[in-house]
Chains A and B, each alone.
Chain A
């Protein structure tokens, strides 16, 4: 009796959670002309033409490419830079390692809002505003502190013998970094990359503040603009765009769940 109650409770939870997603999928297939309020079953199968409208109205295709560029580029750059800094702080004989740790890690504790306005002014003054380089710069930098935290934690668990090999000089350091410590920290590097890829892909704030033209704008900013035309375009178009915009991260997340759990446990 108790077990059956438990079972039906679980099914209820799953159903409640799935209803919004289900409705979104169903209604994204309705042709805008057929749409007369939310429907519980497929009215028509116009998903692709809805998507086409979205792509034409808000340049969603270009925005997806931009976001892919930023997410992959900033993720890879941030992980490399963070790994170098972790190596310096953990393996190399640095003075005041705690000081350097906080000088990098503290960046992740501040709310994004505190950077926005001076960044906007600085970007405008240095003609980085509304450029792909500018977006790559901010996404890379904002990703460094947390990537550094994850990789540094991992490197501190490196076996002691590795530390003793730290008696070489010159090009020795870079070889040691590339041949020993980078491969050893592979798991942490992948976790940090995936986490930052997802964070960049999902960013709205920097997108709407530091870019405006369709050639530069990331995906979430474009989606925001599309959502502003909710009444004119009709819900099916917006929902179709929302589904396609989230597919990459949903697939990534579900395939690498284990890595995300690892990074999540350390998130500030």
Chain B
């Protein structure tokens, strides 16, 4: 550390103290700039090359492919035909509807519960225990969450068993085999897994509220719900944008849990866009059609991210 801070200083001072001929100075300056450009390329190249080759190139290939009818062996240009067909495809409509349900569900449940639990446990003795219980599943993968909830939701699983024990046989159901019940219970499973992340972020937000603000609210006679609505919530707005954006984008990309719990079934009833793309491409080998689904998913995700990024930029500046 010391050597590297000393070197540039002697370099700079010698240049200032004893200027060489203007010509020589210009030449070394030019060489220096060229060297810097070389180093710049070296530092940037790995990231830019990898992201371009492994991410952007496949992205462009997918967009291009969506204009073809392509079964893996032969391809013909069909223009916007794939997109037209999608609009009339009842499976695609269901997939869009499911994606919308997932989005609304995961915006409502984890965000709202995360907020409530954060507010309810902040500065409370027993809060730590509740927070630990809620945060624990966040470290689990989608696959492990699916395994756990498969055990809970299977027809001979823990939830039906529980209902049986309490004599509530009428409540027993085939949770994963009927739409829209399967989508709803999978959203609940995701809520169990994802609420912890929302809660942590809200806690960070809560702890950054200056205590004078709370004190001022208290002096104005605000307590309980009034305090929450008119003092605390407005202070949480910036972090709420982060939480909402995160949940929104995550819900649009939902794949793992549905793939392992229902495979999108029965039939294609519980498919989201991510699963429809996967089935069309890798199960049915309809590459062009699958690519069109991926492009539509991308447009939706980018629109959502844009709205959220723009709002986030506005709130932070």
Residues of A at the B interface (CB closer than 8 Å) are 6-7, 9-11, 13-15, 17-18, 20-21, 23-24, 27, 37-38, 81-82, 84-85, 87-89, 92-94, 100, 103-104, 106-107, 109-120, 122, 137-138, 140-142, 144-145, 148, 165, 167-170, 172-177, 179-180, 183, 198, 201-205, 209, 220, 223-224, 227, 230, 235, 238-239, 241-242, 245-246, 249-250, 252-254, 257, 260-261, 264-265, 267-268
Contact = CB atoms under 8 A, between A and B. Distances in A.
B43 A114 contact: no
Interface in B39-72: 39-40, 43-44, 46-48, 50-52, 54-59, 61-62, 65
A223 B148 CA distance: 12
Contacts of B135: 257
Contact of A265 (B50, B55, B161, B204): B204
A110 B137 contact: no
Contacts of B278: 113, 116
A94 B44 contact: yes
9 contacts: A24-B148, A81-B46, A84-B43, A92-B40, A114-B59, A115-B55, A144-B50, A179-B1, A201-B141
A29 B5 CA distance: 60
B125 to A, nearest CB: 8
Interface size class of B (residues with CB under 8 A): 35 or more
A250 B40 CA distance: 39
B242 interface: yes
Which of A10, A23, A27, A257 has the most chain B CB within a 10 Å cutoff?
A: A10
Contacts of A87: 43
Contact of B142 (A11, A20, A204, A250): A204
A62 B48 CA distance: 33
Given A82-B47, A84-B47, A230-B154, 6 more contacts: A6-B120, A7-B126, A114-B295, A205-B256, A227-B147, A265-B201
A30 to B, nearest CB: 12
Interface in B120-175: 120-121, 124, 126-127, 129-130, 132-144, 146-152, 154, 156-158, 161-162
Nearest to A223: B143
B241 to A, nearest CB: 11
B133 A141 contact: no
Quick one: which of B56, B58, B117 has the most chain A CB within 10 A? B58
Contacts of B148: 20-21, 24, 239, 242
A184 B51 CA distance: 26
B200 interface: yes
B294 to A, nearest CB: 5
Given A115-B62, A246-B141, A249-B141, A168 B8 contact: yes
Contacts of B120: 6, 9-10, 13
Interface stretch (B86-94, B178-186, B209-217, B246-254): B246-254
Contacts of B12: 167
Contact of A107 (B56, B144, B287): B56
B102 interface: no
B105 interface: no
B134 A17 contact: yes
Contact of B47 (A9, A81, A204): A81
Interface of B: 1, 4-5, 7-8, 11-12, 31-32, 35-36, 39-40, 43-44, 46-48, 50-52, 54-59, 61-62, 65, 117, 120-121, 124, 126-127, 129-130, 132-144, 146-152, 154, 156-158, 161-162, 192, 197, 200-201, 204, 239, 242, 245-246, 249, 252-253, 255-256, 259-260, 273-274, 277-278, 281-282, 287, 290-291, 293-295, 297-298, 301-302, 305, 309
**Chain B binding surface, main DSSP class:** helix
A25 to B, nearest CB: 10
B291 to A, nearest CB: 7
Contacts of B157: 38
B143 A261 contact: no
A114 B297 contact: yes
Contact of A109 (B54, B255, B302): B302
Contacts of A88: 40, 43-44
Contact of B129 (A14, A104, A138, A202): A14
Contact of A117 (B36, B47, B259, B294): B294
A120 B291 CA distance: 13
Nearest to A148: B47
A63 to B, nearest CB: 11
A9 B124 CA distance: 12
A245 B47 contact: no
B266 to A, nearest CB: 16
